[in-house]
Amino acid sequence: MFGAEPGRVLSIQSHVVSGYVGNRAATFPLQTLGYDVDVVNTVQFSNHTGYGYTNGHKTTPEQLAAIFEGLATNGLITHSRVLTGYVPGAEALQVVGVQIEKMKKDNPDCIYVLDPVMGDVGTGLYVSPDVVPIYKDMLRLATVITPNQFEVELLSGVKIDSLATLNAALIQLHTEHSLPHIAFSSIPLPISIVSTLSLPAPPQQYDRLLPTPHPPWFNAVGVGAPDEDVLVCFASSFVDGQLDTWAFALPTIDGYFSGVGDLFSAMVLAHFHPAQTSPLPALPHAVSKALLAVQQILLRTHLYSLSHAGPSGTATPRPFHAAPESVIPTDAELDSAAPLNPKDPRRKARRMRIRELRVVQERALISQDGVGWPGQRLNWSALLT
């Protein structure tokens, strides 16, 4: 048995042959930052499900157990960091949970980032309901979890419709599950509310990538109307019985993308260093660095898709400032504009392909030095009075 290796990551999540979600969205960025990544694929699909047509197979619980057994027999479970994402089905998730518990027992300092991939607002639950109690049990093993709004509400049992209910959900997760850190990836809030939190606007590194003037598909603090939404990310740690929460205001881009949460979780794992206290505590530092990379790659991907997507999804240059509906291809396009039969899966795939996260082409944005995305520590006492 080898000792724990500081730079070795075990990433357990989905795999697609074409595209950037799951392990495909996590592995290259982690490698770019110097990590040695061992990968367990919980599914192997041709592409992600956003394409409409997908083929492939799920890794069975027996196959997952066999993979872990082989690693253990050879003394190869030496990872100091673990990341889990999409796992299909309760039995498979139980196998993963047992393995994580063994790793944490052998190495209590192992950093475990758990992305509880279960669903999303507007979509609902897209895994079997019997995975929910297993995820709740696995929270006790996690160092950091990276849920979206739907998943926070599902795990905490608290419907988030105000800052007070957000506070209640965070406290419930921290205290009931002994969970030290929560990177709440995003929740849409009206700019009028976000403005009261005194959150900083996007940083200069991001602004320099934007077209001038700001295009109609872009909303941010200081840009959009008061009733328009921006996304807010929260980094919450439980320190000495108190919430230490930082908030980060994110731009809203009118477009469809997959794998953003997977990339975010990987970047949080990469930048999380438990002993760090300056210039930011460990979790807000990791979230800040993760957001800067993710938001810039997302913007560059969107600009690329706008400049290369004609009405039929072909590579026809279009202006950045045209009306969103004329440059963002959708399934409502006129059939007569399609070069392929409207029912041919390649028609939608052609459009989806240009929206894949450009993690390889924009790899310089992953490893850039300097400060991260600006945030603000929240004064809960003042906000809740």
Catalytic site positions:
262
Euclidean distance between CA atoms 11 and 34, whole angstroms: 15
- Which tokens is 51 given? 């394409």
**Distance set, CA 148 to CA 104, 106, 115, 293, 377 (Å):** 25, 30, 9, 18, 20
Q: Are strands 79-84 and 5-16 parallel, antiparallel or unpaired?
A: parallel
Euclidean distance between CA atoms 16 and 25, whole angstroms: 10
Contact 79, 97 (CB under 8 A): no
Which residues are 244's β-sheet partners? 237
